Structure 1
């Protein structure tokens, strides 16, 4: 009597969640009767087959099939977790600000969910076009093996025909050297604004010269503009000498080399400052020979990528303003010359 491997054994799905139905499958390469151990509810079977059961704990299955005084074996392990992941729910209105009588699309999607409860339907994802008459917040609750999760989205409905109004705040309004200011605004009876696009919000702006910052917002009733004067002492960013200054020895040169930037080349000028006020020194580099500028936003002291490339720039003083989203928003850099 001899023994050899030759039985294919598997669980599906694997891993599984407690309470989930699992299919146990085995197959021997020869016709035989098989003895099954470690799977609740079944002990014998033909040379191949399958069996379904509800998983409750980790299992180790062992199958031994006999034919002509020879034994063939196979084994497999099932991993069972006690809890399923909680559902993830995403809800949105697009656009999120409308004028009374306009349409907006309410959308929802989910993962790890088997059902959702929404005012617009019961599927785990979907969308519908609405014409709300007033501002509202809509919640969606999705359920699954891991429990339930609720997410909400809001739409702002402004009166039709109202006159747009915008208020603008800039801090600080006086800079002793070129640097960053925070621009915040709110508006009513509007659907869009020039800076940032949203009807309210904030962005960080780099300023190297004295001028007004303007914000114009638009709505069905027209537009409105607010302005704040920002004074910068001195009109130019001082050009730094070619090479790496002693104070900038901590610039990660390997990061720049990976991006194709070499500060040691002739005609390279740069300035480090915190553009988005996150505590990291960002980097403005001008290659005067190629007439190109690079904006790099630092992440944990490193420069993983070039966030903006601006052509036809021969000096740092050509760059007048850089717009960087505030409050950790998506990075979108706009350069004014």
Structure 2
């Protein structure tokens, strides 16, 4: 097929490619990026502008010259980082020795998702291995007639039950997280009393708090405010945060639940006086299965999914969840919810 203006045709072609691509005219030193290139990298018009991608332009020019029509080499792949995640691929347009095609490939997100998948499989395997190994060991012991006694049955059965309960809870958490991460999941929001939810969560965790002689103090807002939320899901977030605060708090230390209004939202804080979290660990506390060094050294029980589930729930409720912490002083987990009264006024 004969094309009246091959350059214009090539420009139309790269605009149709949903990746960062560009054309380069050697004799004119003219770089023509498509819209994806401009959006992700910025405007460029000369070969020297490629240096913004950490490319040695002189080396790039030599590479392009090696792609001559009489050469067997028609394609070059140039890594742009040490991780080998980003590449600039260069090829010469056939029958147009003055025209080059650039394709910028960024596999950072693909590699990140792949690493998350590997970490997830490794973490699930680790979480399953411990209780399964324990259950198998106790059952194998009881299967040996020499060790099958009433005393051992009474000793082993509660331990077996504890480990199977841990497996059961892990499965429930995984199913919950899977549902929350599904983009089609929608949580129905209704106006509910925040104070009632706080009181229910404190009551649910009271036995665990009593075991460590901890007091949980609610500092409620001046009035019984209603928030747009889902009672079941909100209680789960509050119980998760209180459960963590109780587990990590030192005995006899207070746990404070407080609130503050900001615009049309209310922030709820759950603060403890535990060991705190190191600054470098704070960005990861809401990741699936992530456990801080303090949790690992203290052998705190849990699936490692509670905070990840809480994060997804709060996001589904239209809010945010954050954490601030100081080593040796404690942690403050806090989240926002929309006030039902102000939301209603806005809609009106």
TM bucket, shorter chain: under 0.3
Q: Which has the larger radius of gyration?
A: 1
Which gives a bigger RCO, structure 1 or 2 (Cα 8 Å, sep 6+)? 2
TM-score (norm 2): 0.21
TM-score (norm 1): 0.22
Q: Name whichever structure is richer in helix by fraction.
A: 2
